[in-house]
Chains A and B, each alone.
Chain A
Amino acid sequence: MRNLSWVLLHVPVVFLLFSACSSSYSSDLEVLLKLKSAMNGPNVSGLVDWPENSSSPTAHCSFSGVSCDHDSRVVSLNVSYIPLCGFIPREIGLLNKLVNLTIAADNLTGRLPVEIANLTSLKVLNISNNLFTGNFPGEIFLGMTELEILDTYNNNFSGPLPTELAILKRIKHLSLGGNFFSGPIPDVYSEIQSLEYLGLNGNSQTGKFPASLGRLSNLKEMYVGYFNAFDGGIPPELGSLSSLQVLDMSSCNLTGEIPKSLNLLKNLQLLFLQINRLTGYIPPELSGLVSLRQLDLSINELAGEIPESFSTLTNITLINLFKNHLRGPIPAYFGDLPNLEVLQVWENNFTFELPNNLGQNGKLKLFDVATNQLTGPVPLVLCAGGKLKTLILMENFFSGAIPMEIGDCKSLTRIRIAKNLLSGTIPAGIFNLPSVEVVEVSDNYFSGELPLKISGDALETLVLSNNRITGKIPSAIGNLKNLRTLSLEMNRLSGEIPSELFGLPNLMNINISANNHISGEIPTSIARCTSLSSIDFSRNNLFGEIPKEIAKLMMLSTLNLSNNQITGCIPEEMRDMSSLVTLDLSNNDLVGRVPSGFVIYDDSSFAGNPNLGPQSHFSCPSSLGEVQNSSQTHGRFCSPVLIVCIAVFVTALLSVPPQSRQPRKQRRHRDRGAREGHVRTH
């Protein structure tokens, strides 16, 4: 690492040498044309309005992105968001009057030429969103005394962060994030007193976070999280950053406690410390953060309660505390916070009841308290402002009814309140919300009937299982055009399955199991629902036969019709359902033989059907096209012959060496008692 004095001695020499060697370029026009040629990668022809054959020596001043001074010297160059794919040539250093050099998002590659050091008038250097690689040549800054903005965000620079930045007296904006810079954040950065914005996020920084950075009294925004991995924790000295408005130290491996000295940050609006390994309590002193708008401490190991003192944080809009070890109540004052829009505290140990005026401020948008131990009623005014999008209460001990107001909350997109102690009728409005995608109210004590009027083009997932819902499945369920999953199992529904259900074009999973009283036949219209992947009608009162049309469901993977009163034969066509891997027809009244080709299922798939099996006296039609043995026999007198044949076959199996075996197992199940057209009905 060269020392400062050596470089100061040599910069002018380099400059002289450079201008001597490049006497072939006499004007900025020629330099820009050289730039064009270098920045255009192979097969790229960008910057077409920088014509090579310009006659006027000042033609370059009207090139796009170029501004000149009164001497026709280039002072500003802005070439951005053009996929050029080339590189920056050394000649860039000849544009020594440049004040603004912005070449962002051009897909440029290669290393940064050290000749940029010549641009000693530069105030803005923006090379963000390119593919520059290598170490960053920090020495370029030694003469750039006017530099105010440096943006190298989102490139592929590696190696240490350039310490030379520390000598700059005017620099306000330093955006070095989104690269592969490694090693510690240099202590000397604490000397950059002019700094207002420091971005080091998304790098590979390590080491202890320098406490000295607390001296940056003009710093307004600091982003140091994501992919960095610091040793130790948040230095208490950061409380001295008196101008700070944004502190983002998320996802950078921080340990230890949140320093209470952060309460000195009177201008702080956004405090992001999520995704770390912070322990201890949330300091009550942080109630001093009078400007705080967003607080995210989620995904840490914080313990203790939400401080009572936070009632003074009247500007707060977002509180994210999810996935910690917090306990105690959700404070009553949360209902009084006038600006609260987002409250997400899921996966903690919160107890007691929610404030009953929560949502009264009319601004609540995202509300998630899942997986806690909350009790009591659901606040009536959660959707008071008509802005609530997510209502997630699942896995708690909430009791009472769902407020009717929720059924009028047209802004809702997700309702997930499963696994609580809720009761009463589900408000009919919930089945008619225009934007809701998920309604999941399973594992509660809901009763009453489903509404006759159902609509909703956005609803994809409807899970009502394990409740006490009675009545019929409304045919209006066929209005839910986008429904994919319908779970009604373990309720007390009765009546028939409406055939409208099978007109749903996107339905993949249907489960109406264990309602015990759903009756009627399986409609042949089931075949219309070609996207069905899983059908569970088990444990009901279904009768009639399995429609052969069911074999048209080419994506059906699971079919459970067990524990019903289904009669008739198992359609031969079902043999061709290669997608079917789980089949349960047990405990019905099926008759005849199991069609050949079903050998893959265990006996348990067919058990509990007294007249089903190889001994069955009933006959079922065999399908055409099955391989017929030429020595067919017909009639029931054949059965003893069949038994003898099988006995011989099995004996043969046991006595003959494997290689002479014909593994054609289908024989055993081939129907031997064909009586054309003889069909069983109730």
Chain B
Amino acid sequence: MAALSWMWRLSLAVTLGLVCGNSEGDALSTLRRSLSDPDNVLQSWDPTLVNPCTWFHITCNQDNRVTRVDLGNSNLSGHLVPELGELEHLQYLELYKNHIQGTIPVELGSLKSLISLDLYSNNISGMIPPSLGKLKSLVFLRLNDNRLNGPIPRELIGVSSLKVVDVSNNDLCGTIPTSGPFERIPLNNFENNPRLEGPELLGLASYDTNCS
């Protein structure tokens, strides 16, 4: 009974992951299921392995915790998943230059070790979640060349580690923050957002923008 063995294998894979407590492998398997992968770059992502540390495009630390996801330029489509927020030790999330759609999960704000969030050159829509303001180690935030809308969250001003922010080529609105890390970010990293109004004018009365 082929159907019988298929279901058991799938159940085994799912349950092994759940019971084994390797939620990081599970989270990544969930990501894999919601991505379309015509070039089979995720072929090595075997959910039956003890941990994802031998999967290609994944790097772990000494404690077998995932620190890097390197999937730039991999012809992936589909969408991101909230489970990515479970990768507590993740430092580098490189998903640039794909065809990923959908929104940026707010759960990415839980990635307290994150240094680099590179989602640029995709088809991502929706707003930039204010929860990204919780990423106190973030250095690179590159969301350019997507279809993001809404404002640039003020919460990002509190991320003093930010060195590179690029949100150009989107559909953002409101004003460009100018304090905290944004003092150092060149204006052309905000260009080609037709509804973006320019640097905020601090100290003056805030004016009504059609952006929320």
Contact = CB atoms under 8 A, between A and B. Distances in A.
Nearest to A253: B19
Nearest to A599: B163
Nearest to A416: B54
Contact of B92 (A227, A346, A581): A581
Contact of B118 (A105, A153, A581, A663): A581
A251 interface: yes
Contact of A663 (B92, B185, B203): B185
Contact of B70 (A129, A227, A533): A533
B87 interface: no
B33 interface: no
A513 B56 CA distance: 20
Contact of B15 (A226, A659, A663): A226
A354 to B, nearest CB: 21
Contacts of A9: none
Contacts of A582: 92
A579 B72 contact: yes
Contacts of B199: 658-659
Contacts of A555: 70, 72-73
A360 interface: no
B73 A554 contact: yes
Contact of B178 (A227, A346, A438, A659): A659
A664 B70 contact: no
Contact of A579 (B96, B164, B178, B185): B96
B11 interface: yes
Interface residues of A, number: 40
A294 interface: no
Interface string A128-158: 1100000000000000000000000110000
Contact of A299 (B20, B57, B96): B20
A275 B19 CA distance: 7
Contacts, number: 93
Interface in B1-38: 1, 3-4, 7-8, 11-12, 15-16, 19-20
A663 B183 contact: yes
Contacts of B179: 658
B116 interface: yes
A460 B54 CA distance: 11
B72 A129 contact: no
Decide if the interface of chain A is mainly helix, strand, loop or mixed.
loop
Contact of A226 (B11, B50, B59): B11
Interface string A528-540: 0000011000000
A461 interface: yes
A226 B201 contact: no
Interface in B138-186: 139-140, 142, 163-164, 178-179, 183-186
A586 interface: no
B115 interface: yes
A578 B118 CA distance: 10
Most buried by A among B72, B164, B184: B72
A673 to B, nearest CB: 24
A160 B96 CA distance: 49
B139 A600 contact: yes
A508 interface: yes
A657 interface: yes
A470 to B, nearest CB: 26
B205 interface: no
A508 B56 contact: yes
Contacts of A154: 3, 7
B61 to A, nearest CB: 14
A677 to B, nearest CB: 30
A657 B183 contact: no
B15 A557 contact: no
A538 B4 CA distance: 52
B7 A581 contact: no
B56 A581 contact: no
B186 A665 contact: yes
A129 B11 contact: no
Given A555-B72, A579-B96, A600-B163, A659 B202 contact: yes
A484 interface: yes
B177 to A, nearest CB: 11
Contacts of A600: 139-140, 163-164
B192 to A, nearest CB: 16
Interface in A168-203: 178, 201-202
Contacts of B44: 460
B211 interface: no
Interface string B36-61: 00000000100000100010110100
Q: Counting chain A CB atoms within 10 Å of each CB, which of B19, B57, B164 scores highest?
A: B19
Contact of B186 (A346, A438, A554, A663): A663
Interface string A239-253: 000000000000100
A485 interface: yes
A323 interface: yes
A251 B16 CA distance: 9
Of the candidates B54, B94, B184, B186, the one having the most CB atoms from chain A within 10 angstroms of its own CB is B54
Contacts of B11: 202, 226-227, 251
B187 to A, nearest CB: 6
Given A438-B54, A658-B183, 17 more contacts: A105-B3, A227-B11, A227-B15, A275-B16, A323-B20, A579-B72, A579-B73, A579-B96, A581-B92, A581-B116, A581-B118, A599-B163, A600-B163, A658-B179, A661-B183, A663-B184, A663-B185
9 contacts: A299-B19, A346-B50, A460-B44, A484-B56, A533-B57, A578-B96, A582-B92, A658-B199, A661-B183
The 10 lowest CB-CB distance pairs between A and B, nearest first, are A581-B116, A226-B11, A600-B163, A251-B15, A600-B164, A533-B70, A658-B178, A275-B19, A663-B186, A129-B3
